[in-house]
């Protein structure tokens, strides 16, 4: 039986390092059988790749999460925050931003597929800062 992997949308805020991290995450997800979609509306998983150096980028992430959680769609995507904001704030993100399911630190990009699987397996939230 062929199980469909979720479609993943990655939105990047900030610096060139974030762009490179997003490309690395997309490669790893594709390799694990996930489809990268250019549309947040078609996604089962939304990853927001963040930059803490640029304050405006950090504020935009908070706004975007509200957009995704407030969308009038039957299907609410899993939402992950990755990048340096995730690395710096860690578990505090769950308290500060309602609706986040996953926090992925800067050195955990390659483990995103397994983190998604943990959420699909029933875990409420997952964090990997290692």
Find the CATH number of the domain harbouring 66. 3.40.50.12160
Per-residue pLDDT of the chain (130 residues; tens, 9 = 90+): 455 788 999 998 877 777 888 999 999 999 999 999 998 888 999 999 987 765 665 677 777 877 777 665 557 889 999 998 899 889 999 988 888 999 999 999 999 999 999 999 999 999 999 8
Report in angstroms the alpha-carbon separations of 51 from 13, 41, 85, 100.
6, 23, 6, 17
Residue 87 DSSP class: H
> In terms of residue numbers, what domain contains 88?
7-122
CB atoms within 10 A of CB 90: 14
Separation CA 119–CA 29 (nearest Å):
15
- For residue 127, is it within any domain? no
Amino acid 79: pLDDT: 93
On whether residue 82 sits in a domain, the answer given is yes
Nearest to 53 by CA among 30, 83, 97, 28: 83
Q: Indicate the pTM of the whole model.
A: 0.87
């Amino acid at each position: 039986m062929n199980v469909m992997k979720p479609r993943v949308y990655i939105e990047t805020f900030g610096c060139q390092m974030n762009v490179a991290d997003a490309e690395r995450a997309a490669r790893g997800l594709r390799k694990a059988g996930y489809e990268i979609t250019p549309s947040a509306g078609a996604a089962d998983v939304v990853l927001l790749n963040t930059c803490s150096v640029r304050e405006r980028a950090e504020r935009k992430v908070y706004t975007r999460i509200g957009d995704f959680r407030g969308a009038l769609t039957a299907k609410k995507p899993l939402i992950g925050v990755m990048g340096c904001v995730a690395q710096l704030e860690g578990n505090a993100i769950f308290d500060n931003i309602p609706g986040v399911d996953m926090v992925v630190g800067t050195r955990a990009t390659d483990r995103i597929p397994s983190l998604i699987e943990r959420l699909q397996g029933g875990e409420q939230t997952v964090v990997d800062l290692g």
